[in-house]
Amino acid sequence: MAEPSEAKFEKQLILAKKRGADRMSGVLAKAVAYDGNRNRIVITLNGDVEVSFVPSAAEGLADAPPEALTNVELTPFGTGIHFPDLDADIYVPALLEGLLGSRCWMASRLGSSGGSATSSAKIEAARENGKLGGRPKKNAA
């Protein structure tokens, strides 16, 4: 027999409150600012630990002008930082795990650095390809 909707709602509410409490017991941000002298976003965490990073390392901030970076806000519970002028957000727990963007964005960053790697084999392959006329032209549709 199906559980009455009121009892089901109460169960869901209890579980949601527990998940919220678990998130609030972790590391949270208590202040955030842009340091233009060092070109760093500086986040002060509870426990007075500071974390900083260059804006270009975070999705949505790479090409941001300094004026847009100075307008930064802390979310009410300290779980995130928000840049209103850029409509960009960073989730603090993910930041601490080393993820400054979505999986897709991070993968593109990793892929671009791999493509710039040089080796003697890659140089030789590029030379041979050049002798054959190089990379084919893209067809304009």
Mean pLDDT of the chain: 82
Average pLDDT over residues 97-109: 66
In this prediction, residue 101 carries a pLDDT of 61
Instruction: Determine contact, residues 77/21, Cβ cutoff 8 Å.
Output: no
- pLDDT tens for 18-62 read 877 666 657 789 999 999 999 999 999 988 889 999 999 888 998
14/71 Cα distance (integer angstroms): 37
- pLDDT tens for 110-124 read 565 555 666 777 777
Average pLDDT over residues 86-106: 78
In this prediction, residue 116 carries a pLDDT of 60
* 2: pLDDT strictly greater than 70: no
* 102: pLDDT strictly greater than 60: yes
pTM value? 0.58
Average pLDDT over residues 75-103: 84
* 70: pLDDT strictly greater than 80: yes
Order of strands across the sheet that contains 80-83:
73-74, 80-83, 88-91
In this prediction, residue 19 carries a pLDDT of 78
pLDDT bucket at 4, cuts 50 / 70 / 90: confident
* 103: pLDDT strictly greater than 70: no
